[in-house]
C-alpha cells in the first residue's frame, strides 16, 4: 500500500542503508549541521557527489538547506533559512540574548554558506522561530 512515506523510505533504502545511517548518526553526535565537505569526508566521496546527495535528501524533505552565517559582525554564528536571506534578522531572535533588542544583521548569500540540518528537528524549529520573530 502506498503512503506518504513510501517515497522517502524508498529513497533512504536505496541511498542510505540502515547501518550507514547509524554510522553517520554516531559520527555526527550533537552536531548542528552538516556541509558538503564533511559529508564528502564521512562517506569517502567527492564534493560534487556529496552536494548531490545532500540536495537530494533536501528535496525529499529529510534535510533542510539553511545558510550558515559566520560574519565577524555577529556575536556568534547562526543559521538562516533561505527565505530570510537579505532581510534584517534580530540577533536576539537568533539566540544572542545579550544583544541589543534592535540590533539586526542582514545576511547575504555571498557571505554565508549552505549547510544542511535535520528537516524535522532543528531546521524546522529555527526556521519557524526566525520566521515568526522577524
Partner 1 sequence: MALAENLNAFWISKLGADRLAQLPGGSTGRSSLDKALNVVRELKKDRETLYNLLFEGFDGYFHQSVFVRDLKKSMASTLANLEIGKTVKDVEWWAIQSPKAHHVRVLAGVRRQMQFLTAKDVGEWYVITIPVMIEAMPSLLRVRTLTVQSTPTTWSELLGKEITRILTPLVDTELHDQALGATGVPVGDLGEMVDYSRHAVELMKDTANVNTYAGTFAVRTVGQTRHATGGGGLGRKRQPMHVVMSTEFNELVGSDRVRQCEIDVQKDLDIGLLAGTALVIYPVEGKIVFRKMLSGGAVDAFLAYLAR
Residues at the site binding partner 1, with contacts judged by CB under 8 A = 29-34, 70-73, 76-77, 108-111, 113
In terms of Cα–Cα distance, which of 35, 43, 48 is closest to 77? 35
Cβ distance to partner 1 smaller for residue 18 or 30 = 30
- 3-state class of 16 per DSSP? coil
**Considering the complex, what minimum distance in angstroms separates the CB of residue 86 from partner 1?**
10
Residue 99 CB: number of other CB atoms within 10 A? Answer: 17
- 83: exposed, middle or buried (Cβ count in 10 Å: 0-12, 13-18, 19+): exposed
Cβ distance to partner 1 smaller for residue 3 or 72 = 72
**Considering the complex, what minimum distance in angstroms separates the CB of residue 63 from partner 1?**
14
Cβ distance to partner 1 smaller for residue 6 or 76 = 76
**Considering the complex, what minimum distance in angstroms separates the CB of residue 6 from partner 1?**
32
Grid cell in block for residue 72: 565577524
**Considering the complex, what minimum distance in angstroms separates the CB of residue 69 from partner 1?**
10
Length of the chain, in residues: 134
Cβ distance to partner 1 smaller for residue 8 or 114 = 114
Q: Are 60 and 8 in contact (CB under 8 A)?
A: yes
Residue with cell 539586526: 104
Amino acid at each position: 500500500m502506498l503512503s506518504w512515506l513510501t517515497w522517502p523510505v524508498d529513497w533512504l533504502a536505496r541511498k542510505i542503508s540502515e547501518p550507514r545511517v547509524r554510522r553517520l548518526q554516531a559520527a555526527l553526535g550533537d552536531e548542528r549541521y552538516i556541509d558538503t565537505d564533511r559529508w564528502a569526508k564521512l562517506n569517502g566521496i567527492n564534493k560534487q557527489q556529496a552536494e548531490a546527495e545532500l540536495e537530494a535528501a533536501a528535496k525529499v524533505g529529510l534535510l533542510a538547506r539553511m545558510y550558515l552565517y559566520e560574519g565577524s559582525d555577529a556575536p556568534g554564528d547562526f543559521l538562516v533559512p533561505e527565505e530570510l536571506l537579505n532581510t534584517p534578522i534580530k540577533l536576539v531572535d537568533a539566540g544572542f540574548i545579550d544583544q541589543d533588542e534592535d540590533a539586526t544583521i542582514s545576511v547575504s548569500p555571498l557571505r554565508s554558506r549552505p549547510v544542511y540540518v535535520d528537516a524535522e528537528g532543528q531546521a524546522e524549529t529555527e526556521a519557524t522561530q526566525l520566521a515568526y520573530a522577524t
